[in-house]
């Protein structure tokens, strides 16, 4: 049991590192995107940006599902990768169908993977929400009348003192 817990923690830490890397890359690209952005709001640019964020987050989540499936194969829990991947996806998403059950010795890895998945889906949702909110803020600022922009800038410069 202790070996399963330690293995689960190690794989969870690997997944956390992977998702943190995806988020860091996404944030770095976003800063470049925001600094280089000039002109008015563009639905196409906003769509491309949000799509990129979603694809990056989904890619990170899918990579973690694969990592868990590889673990299940390495410990001999499943005979084929397709079954290991399916079981991993069900665990990671917290669905818990129960149509495929791991052996009693390794069953504890399922809830550990589910906890990892819930945390990572929350992180991905937070990242996408932050991106949407920033685009909304950027677009609403661009659409304000000039007098409102001046008031906002004056208010911001007063906060910096």
Question: Which single residue is written with the structure tokens 């293995």?
Answer: 7
SS3 98: coil
Model confidence at 152, pLDDT cuts 50, 70, 90, reads: low
Give the residue ranges of DSSP H helices in 37-78.
43-74
Q: Which two tokens stand for residue 84?
A: 């290991």
Q: Tens of pLDDT along 18-45?
A: 999 988 887 787 777 766 666 555 778 7
Q: What pTM was estimated for this model as a whole? A: 0.79
Summary mean pLDDT of the chain: 85
The length of the chain, given as a count of residues: 161
Query: Could you tell me the CA-to-CA distances from 161 to 155, 156, 157 in Å, in that order?
Result: 11, 9, 7
Q: 115 CB contacts (<8 Å, ≥6 apart)?
A: 12
Distance CA 100, CA 83 (A): 8
Model confidence at 87, pLDDT cuts 50, 70, 90, reads: very high
Distance CA 152, CA 61 (A): 39
């Amino acid at each position: 049991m202790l070996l399963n817990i330690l293995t689960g923690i190690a794989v969870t830490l690997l997944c956390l590192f992977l998702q943190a890397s995806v988020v860091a890359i996404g944030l770095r690209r976003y800063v470049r995107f925001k600094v280089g952005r000039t002109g008015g709001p563009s639905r196409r640019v906003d769509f491309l940006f949000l799509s990129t964020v979603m694809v990056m987050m989904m890619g990170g989540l899918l990579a973690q599902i694969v990592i868990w499936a590889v673990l299940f194969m390495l410990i001999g829990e499943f005979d084929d990768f397709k079954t290991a991947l399916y079981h991993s996806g069900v665990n990671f998403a917290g669905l818990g169908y129960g149509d495929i059950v791991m052996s009693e010795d390794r069953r504890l890895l399922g809830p550990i993977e589910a906890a990892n998945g819930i945390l990572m889906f929350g992180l991905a949702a937070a990242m996408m929400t932050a991106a949407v909110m920033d685009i909304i803020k950027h677009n609403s600022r661009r659409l304000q009348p000039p007098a409102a922009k001046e008031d906002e800038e004056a208010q911001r410069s007063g906060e910096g003192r």
